[in-house]
Amino acid sequence: MDTTVHAVQLAGTDQSFFCAADDTVLRAALRHGIAFPYECNVGSCGNCKFELIEGQVSTLWPEAPGLSEKDKQRNRWLGCQTRALGDLQIKLRTGDKYRPIHTPVRTSARLVSSRTITHDISEFGFELVQPMTFASGQYALVQLAGVTGPRAYSMSNAGVSGTALAFQVRRLPQGAGSTALFEQLRVGDAVEIDGPYGMAYLREHAARDILCVAGGSGLSPMVSVARGAFASAPLAPRQLHFVYGARLPADVCGQDMLQVLPGWRERGSYHAVVSGLDREAPLPEGLARGFVHDMVDQAYGDRLADMEIYFAGPALMAQSLLKLLIARKVPMDQVHFDQFY
């Protein structure tokens, strides 16, 4: 293991941090409490770009989609894919909302359980060697043996300080990471986990009813937010509404995990909506037909502006929901989501 550490200075500020040779510039900064902008942590969104003023770096993924040719010509790099090869001076604009609420830790972990949820979603439980503190709704990076680059997975358990983490993961037929999780990883096998990350965590002191909207693998962080909300004393007077959007009835899930939460009967509601069922096909009991944003508008419409709203899922669902929330004049500081890539 390389124990070399380099100093990184933020140009034009008095902020600096140390970056281990085997860490990335973004994650080292966050471990030091620096409010370094980011979102996906996996090279896709481009939010973690910085300009290299002085020093040498290397990239873990030269073709990462988050960086354009123009960026490369301007000596811009992705913080989540860049390693320091010596001391650096870099330029970026920090943003307070990115300051970590819990310090990310890197630790090895072992798979302790796996449980089928639907035909293509399972929950994987891990036992960490070092404890991690995270808030409901956050995610961690999982490095699997034989897979290039870590994968971001949102925790499904309620935020805690401890050594148990669970992730609900959707299997992609051609996906290297999800296939390794579903097909190769066995109970007792080791992975590396780095977290927590993400800004779409449960706001325990927001005195509003809660709406959680999940599509597909967005289930995991929304179940975590719901579990966290039902365990939170400040949120005890609040209602929580959970909407799950799926393509077909066989994809619908989540209700069984929610209705066991103490107080769910009095404070919780669950709706599922399917978008891919033929008009002529009979609709199973308890399901609605259509798109998730239409169902949210029909069910909550005018009340949206008074709710704390969390969502996770496919890009198209996220865009349609955002459009609706803007049209319904929901203040954006009441809306929390991490885009999945």
Ligand X SMILES: Cc1cc2nc3c(=O)[nH]c(=O)nc-3n(C[C@H](O)[C@H](O)[C@H](O)COP(=O)(O)OP(=O)(O)OC[C@H]3O[C@@H](n4cnc5c(N)ncnc54)[C@H](O)[C@@H]3O)c2cc1C
Query: Site residues (CB under 6 A) for ligand FES?
Result: 38-41, 43-48, 66, 78-80
- In the complex with ligand FES, the residue whose CB is nearer, 76 or 227, is 76
Candidate list 149, 163, 164, 232; residue touching ligand X; CB under 6 A: 149
Residue 67, judged by CB atoms within 10 A of its CB (0-12, 13-18, 19+), counts as buried
- In the complex with ligand FES, the residue whose CB is nearer, 154 or 334, is 154
CA angle in degrees (0–180, nearest 5) for 193-35-141 = 15
Give CA–CA dist 136/300, Å, rounded.
Answer: 24
The site partner of 338 among ligand X, ligand FES, none (C-beta below 5 to 8 Å per kind) is ligand X
Within 10 Å of residue 56's Cβ, how many Cβ atoms? 12
- In the complex with ligand FES, the residue whose CB is nearer, 43 or 228, is 43
Sign of CA dihedral 159, 149, 170, 247: positive
- In the complex with ligand FES, the residue whose CB is nearer, 82 or 334, is 82
- In the complex with ligand FES, the residue whose CB is nearer, 209 or 338, is 338
Is 106 a binding residue for ligand X by CB under 6 A? The answer is: no
Size of the site for ligand X (CB under 6 A): 27
Sheet holding 268-274, edge to edge: 287-289, 268-274, 240-246, 209-215, 307-312, 335-337
Contact region with ligand X (CB under 6 A), list: 71-79, 165-173, 247-255, 326-334: 165-173
Candidate list 152, 253, 261, 296; residue touching ligand X; CB under 6 A: 152
The site partner of 220 among ligand FES, ligand X, none (C-beta below 5 to 8 Å per kind) is ligand X
Candidate list 126, 139, 270, 311; residue touching ligand X; CB under 6 A: 139
Is 145 a binding residue for ligand X by CB under 6 A? The answer is: no
The site partner of 47 among ligand FES, ligand X, none (C-beta below 5 to 8 Å per kind) is ligand FES
Contact residues for ligand X (CB under 6 A)?
A: 40, 42-44, 61, 139, 148-149, 151-154, 167-170, 172, 175-178, 198, 217, 220, 338, 340-341
